[in-house]
């Protein structure tokens, strides 16, 4: 079995992607070709053995709820697995598998609930999904909720056994609270034109995976001090923002086709009146795409990506942790993969 992308591609490929630090570098030949080689290898990765039973059960979930989950093909799970490998902290090798599996399983649960939120836009469905985390299983959705609960509770048991759990216990509690707040916030947005952009860019990343993945790696990282946690958490939030921006600028067109206007690209365009809110209401897809492409929305977000990277690098200099600089550089590889995946090369 091939579980690591580093067993499939030469390390020079990742070196090129990690040592170019501007999204615009995707236009250079060596970066674009390296990104294409990397993403073309994702499909040949084998799913982690710890993850395979969950995805088999998920296949049944897709049949039960095709409107919510049909878009999650196996390639997307492999992408997540590879992304976590590339961006993982350089922890002790004997902890790699357990940390990697925990990150994948935590992301799996997040995706199950996030898709309920995005697709149904129904508060009751979302709250039932959240309640399932603590074992409250709805009779009408028992198979889905049982999968959420069992995956979540197993992950929590493993987290509590980790070497640095006592140091990070409060950080995990806070992260889960932020995550649930983020789900509820996204569902309460209503009129997109009234959204406060600063709140949106800070809250939405908590619903995704990178911030929590950083904390999971810290469970197994040696010589972590409590005085370092403030800077580390800020770095994880900034790298989450970077990953989210890469996702936004490469998926917004597909989401608009599906009637989903929650991408930061669209929110920013509506907020600044670069696209007419009436076109959103009437779902004028071609008009929306044309106006957004003409707007500075994407370039603004890529500028924010650069600012987030710069801030995270400055914070890393305050820490005596060489592995953090490599961690930040790995998000250059991620955005090049994201850009190459939609032909923006």
* Arithmetic mean of pLDDT, 182-211: 73
* Domain carrying residue 196: 5-341
Position 266 scores a pLDDT of: 92
pLDDT class of 185 with cuts at 50, 70, 90: confident
Rounded Cα distance between 212 and 330, Å, is 16
Please say if the pLDDT value at position 205 is more than 70.
no
- pLDDT, tens only, 41-96: 999 999 988 889 999 999 999 999 999 998 888 899 999 999 999 999 876 677 88
Rounded Cα distance between 179 and 215, Å, is 13
pLDDT class of 223 with cuts at 50, 70, 90: confident
CA nearest neighbour of 311 among 215, 240, 229, 254:
240
- pLDDT, tens only, 239-256: 999 999 999 999 999 889
Rounded Cα distance between 133 and 151, Å, is 9
Position 345 scores a pLDDT of: 41
- Asked if 156 contacts 172 with a C-beta cutoff of 8 angstroms, the reply is no
pLDDT class of 122 with cuts at 50, 70, 90: confident
Which residues have C-beta within 8 Å of that of residue 79, sequence separation ≥ 6?
42
Which residues have C-beta within 8 Å of that of residue 181, sequence separation ≥ 6?
203, 206
DSSP letter assigned to residue 91: -
Burial 269-308 (b: 16+ CB within 10 A, else e): bbbeebbeeebbeeebeeebeebbeebebbebbbebbeeb
Position 199 scores a pLDDT of: 75
Q: Is 202 strand, coil or helix?
A: helix
Please say if the pLDDT value at position 203 is more than 70.
no
* Arithmetic mean of pLDDT, 156-169: 95
- pLDDT, tens only, 128-150: 999 999 999 888 888 999 999 99
CA nearest neighbour of 186 among 119, 138, 237, 236:
119
Position 92 scores a pLDDT of: 64
- pLDDT, tens only, 288-331: 999 999 999 999 999 999 999 999 999 998 887 778 989 999 99
Please say if the pLDDT value at position 188 is more than 80.
no
CA nearest neighbour of 115 among 57, 78, 178, 69:
69
Rounded Cα distance between 141 and 65, Å, is 10
- Asked if 35 contacts 335 with a C-beta cutoff of 8 angstroms, the reply is no
Number of Cβ atoms within 10 Å of the Cβ of 194: 9
- Whole-number Cα distances in Å, 167 to 52, 90, 157, 223: 31, 19, 16, 11
Rounded Cα distance between 178 and 298, Å, is 26
- pLDDT, tens only, 1-50: 677 888 899 999 999 999 999 999 999 999 999 999 999 999 999 998 88
- Asked if 287 contacts 260 with a C-beta cutoff of 8 angstroms, the reply is no
State the CATH number of the domain containing residue 296: 1.10.600.10
pTM for this model (two decimals): 0.91
Position 343 scores a pLDDT of: 60
pLDDT class of 204 with cuts at 50, 70, 90: low
Query: What is the domain count for the chain?
Result: 1
DSSP letter assigned to residue 2: -
What is the DSSP annotation of 148-167? HHHHHHHHHHHHHTSTTHHH
**Dihedral angle sign, alpha carbons of residues 130, 133, 137, 140:** positive
CA nearest neighbour of 284 among 268, 261, 251:
261
* Arithmetic mean of pLDDT, 152-177: 94
Which residues have C-beta within 8 Å of that of residue 312, sequence separation ≥ 6?
234, 235, 238, 239, 242, 328
CA nearest neighbour of 46 among 80, 12, 78, 11:
78
Position 259 scores a pLDDT of: 83
Please say if the pLDDT value at position 167 is more than 50.
yes
263, 265, 271, 274: CA torsion to nearest 10: -140
Which residues have C-beta within 8 Å of that of residue 225, sequence separation ≥ 6?
none
Number of Cβ atoms within 10 Å of the Cβ of 45: 21
């Amino acid at each position: 079995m091939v579980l690591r992308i580093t067993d499939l591609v030469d390390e020079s490929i990742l070196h090129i992607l990690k040592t170019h630090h501007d999204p615009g570098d995707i236009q250079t030949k060596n970066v674009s070709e390296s990104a294409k080689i990397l993403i073309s290898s994702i499909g040949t990765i084998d799913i982690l053995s710890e993850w395979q039973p969950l995805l088999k059960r998920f296949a049944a979930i897709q049949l039960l709820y095709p409107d919510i989950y049909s878009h999650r093909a196996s390639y997307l799970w492999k992408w997540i697995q590879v992304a976590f490998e590339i961006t993982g902290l350089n922890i002790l090798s004997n902890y790699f598998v357990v940390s990697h599996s925990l990150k994948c399983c935590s992301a799996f649960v997040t995706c199950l609930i996030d898709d309920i939120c995005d697709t149904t836009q129904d508060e009751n469905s979302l709250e039932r999904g959240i309640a399932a985390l603590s074992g409250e299983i709805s009779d009408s959705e028992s198979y889905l909720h049982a999968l959420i609960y069992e995956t979540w509770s197993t992950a929590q048991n493993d987290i509590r056994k980790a070497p640095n759990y006592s140091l990070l216990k409060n950080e995990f509690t806070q992260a889960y609270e932020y995550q649930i707040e983020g789900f509820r916030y996204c569902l309460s947005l209503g009129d997109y034109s009234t959204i406060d952009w600063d709140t949106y860019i800070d809250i939405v990343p908590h619903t995704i995976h990178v911030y929590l993945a950083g904390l999971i790696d810290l469970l197994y990282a040696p010589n972590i001090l409590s005085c370092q946690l403030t800077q580390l958490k800020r770095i994880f939030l900034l790298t989450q923002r970077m990953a989210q921006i890469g996702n936004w600028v490469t998926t917004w067109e597909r989401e608009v086709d599906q009637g989903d206007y929650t991408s930061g690209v669209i929110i920013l365009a509506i907020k600044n009146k670069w696209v007419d809110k009436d076109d959103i209401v009437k779902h004028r897809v071609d008009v929306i795409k044309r106006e957004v492409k003409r707007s500075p929305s994407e370039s603004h977000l890529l500028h924010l990506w650069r600012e987030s990277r710069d801030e995270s690098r400055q914070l890393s200099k305050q820490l005596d942790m060489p592995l953090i600089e490599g961690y930040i550089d790995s998000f250059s590889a991620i955005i090049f993969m994201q850009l190459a995946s939609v032909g923006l090369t």
